[in-house]
Amino acid sequence: MILGLTGAIGSGKSTALTAFAEAGAVVFDADRMCHECYADPRSPLVTALAQRWGDIFDEAGMVDRRKIGAIVFRNDAELAFLTSHLYPELRRRLREVCDRMRQHPEQLTVIEIPLLFEEHFETMVDAVAALWCDPEIRHRRLLGRGLDEAEIQRRESRQMPAAAKWEAADYGLVNNGSPEFLKKQCRDLADQLQKD
């Protein structure tokens, strides 16, 4: 069983992924995979981005994702350019993970993919679990991470509404309470999926 995990920004995806790992699942993080795509400064992806945007590197010569974020989160055309180069590589890496994990059908695999529905990655997994969290709680968390309301709204406008993700998913996890409450839901779902 390969389970895709998704949800709105600030809904608790990282906490849920950790809980699934603690419950015995093999876990992968699509955001981390994206970051790994930037790791080689000479890769075709990084070369294409540098040719378009110039200096996107930090003092050590590695890609500075904050510089890229400052460009793409305020310009739809630049975001489209990034995703047109980044997402084919991410899709390739996700396919490799899924192919490898399908060789171990007894093992529950959970892949956190924030834009799972938006980029149609749901076709790569067996089922989807979506996190839902009250918008006020999510916004408080995001403000605590240093995002301002304008930035939160900008990022949310590029995502499918949280309620729509919840409705499209096979399983729902609610994260309005304590981390322990979310972790229990993840453990229960992992147990259910590993028994089926």
Binning pLDDT at 50, 70 and 90, where does residue 123 land?
A: very high
In this prediction, residue 83 carries a pLDDT of 92
Rounded CA separation 94/116 (Å): 11
pLDDT tens digits for 5-39?
999 999 999 999 999 999 999 999 999 999 899 98
Strand pairing class (171-174; 2-7):
unpaired
The 3-state DSSP class for residue 161 equals coil
Q: Inform me whether the pLDDT recorded for 146 exceeds 80.
A: yes
Full-model pTM: 0.89
The 3-state DSSP class for residue 146 equals coil
Give the residue-averaged pLDDT of 92-111: 94
Homologous superfamily (CATH) for 2-195:
P-loop containing nucleotide triphosphate hydrolases (3.40.50.300)
Rounded CA separation 174/181 (Å): 9
In this prediction, residue 187 carries a pLDDT of 96
